[in-house]
Amino acid sequence: MLPPYGNWLGYKIYKVLTVGMLLRWILCTSVQFTFGRRFYVGAYHALRRRYANMDVLVALGTNAAYFYYVYTVIKASTSDRFEGQDFFETSAMLISLILLGKYLEVVAKGKTSNAIANPLGKA
């Protein structure tokens, strides 16, 4: 935290629940269910066809981290001395990095297609 602003993320809202925990929950929920929606849809279609693909793996892994932290937030709001680790940023980071990788793959495929179509660099 920046010195003039203090450590406001550590302020307790209720029992052990802090402002930082609540803020991370809100921000990561939006990433999990808006940007991660494509993985849920892909996983649903794959599981309906009775096979697993990368979408199933991503949905399962990010949900494990996300819902463990939901448990941690609930436990922190009901306990006086609970000390759990949070993993909200883990699920948001995984979704972000996988989407970045997919974007870079599309860019690389486009450049490769252009290079094959124009071998001498003619436009």
- Model confidence pLDDT, tens digit, residues 86-122: 677 888 999 999 999 999 999 999 888 888 888 776 6
Tell me what pLDDT residue 121 has. Answer: 63
**Cβ–Cβ under 8 Å, residues 12 and 73:** no
Domain range summary for the chain, segments of one domain joined by +: 12-110
3-state secondary structure 78-99: HCCCCCCCCCHHHHHHHHHHHH
Which phi-psi region, left, alpha or beta, contains residue 15 (left: φ > 0; alpha: ψ -120 to 50)? left
Which residue is it, tokens 């990788």? 101
Residue 38 has pLDDT above 60, yes or no: yes
Backbone angles phi, psi at 17, to 5 degrees: -70, 125
The string of pLDDT tens digits covering residues 43-73 is 999 999 999 999 999 999 999 989 988 888 8
Tell me what pLDDT residue 51 has. Answer: 93
Distance of CA 97 to the CA centre of its chain: 8
Could you give the C-alpha distances from 110 to 88, 94, 98, 103, in angstroms and in order? 34, 24, 18, 11
